[in-house]
Amino acid sequence: MTRIVAGTVGGRTIQVPPRGTRPTSDRVREAIFSRLDHYGVVDDARVLDLYAGSGALGLEAASRGAREVTLVDSARVAVDVARRNVAALGLRDVRVVARSAEAFAAEGVAGGYHLVFLDPPYDLAADALDRVLAHLAAPGVLDPAAVVVVERSTRGGAPTWPAGWELLARKDYGETAVYYAGPVADDAAGHAPDAADERDRAADGATPRA
């Protein structure tokens, strides 16, 4: 059973596709949003959820105060489930797009997204994910202080971040590795680091911020 952890519809259950997806567990989702709340990128955010599946990550963001959320998936069964979840929860300003993540990102839409989730199948080729990240790095797609959250298997390598991006943190939960990254930004305008962030960055091999 998958549920929304917190916010206006916290505790409500959502449907998941019967096959072909790997929903983020409630425990991992709660940990992700705890960190994102620390970064201050959820409330009033424009959110993009690629490889959305049931839409759990994007719907969690909507429940916690995101301004608008776009859920993108290419699988018809996943799109149908996501649309039913949106309707059942009654969340406003959430749209579901039936398209591949790469095709959607390649459109170069001027989204100004503050928060992007990418939770692709573990067997997605690394170069395919890297192409999606490169499209997201195009001018105007992300807010300058955006945070991009990528889930991958701990048995695989880290994504290749586009030029001008930095790794903020990596956290492992069982076989799931969660990466937090985004454009290099002035800390005064972006998500200011604290001591815990700097410890994470040192452990992850990222260069500490000045």
pLDDT per position in the chain (210 positions), as tens? 899 999 999 999 999 998 656 778 889 999 999 999 999 999 999 999 999 999 999 999 999 999 999 999 999 999 999 999 999 999 999 999 999 999 999 986 777 999 999 999 989 999 999 999 999 999 999 999 999 999 999 999 999 999 999 999 999 999 999 999 999 966 544 554 554 455 454 444 444 333
Length of the chain: 210
What's the rounded Cα separation, in Å, for the pair 139 and 148?
A: 15
Q: What is the pLDDT of residue 205?
A: 46
Q: By the 8 A CB rule, do 79 and 96 touch?
A: yes
Are the C-beta atoms of residues 48 and 110 closer than 8 Å to each other?
A: no
Domain layout of the chain by residue ranges: 2-203
**Whole-structure pTM value:** 0.88
Distance CA 113, CA 141 (A): 6
Nearest to 199 by CA among 189, 190, 209: 209
What's the pLDDT score for residue 209? 36
Predicted pLDDT of residue 187: 53
At 121, phi and psi to the nearest 5? -55, 145
Taken in order 175, 154, 163, 189, is the CA torsion positive or negative? positive
Query: What was the pLDDT predicted at 197?
Result: 56
Q: What is the pLDDT of residue 7?
A: 96
- Which tokens belong to 62? 């909507």
| CATH number belonging to the domain at 2-203, selected among 3.30.310.80, 1.10.150.120, 3.40.50.150, 3.40.50.720 | 3.40.50.150
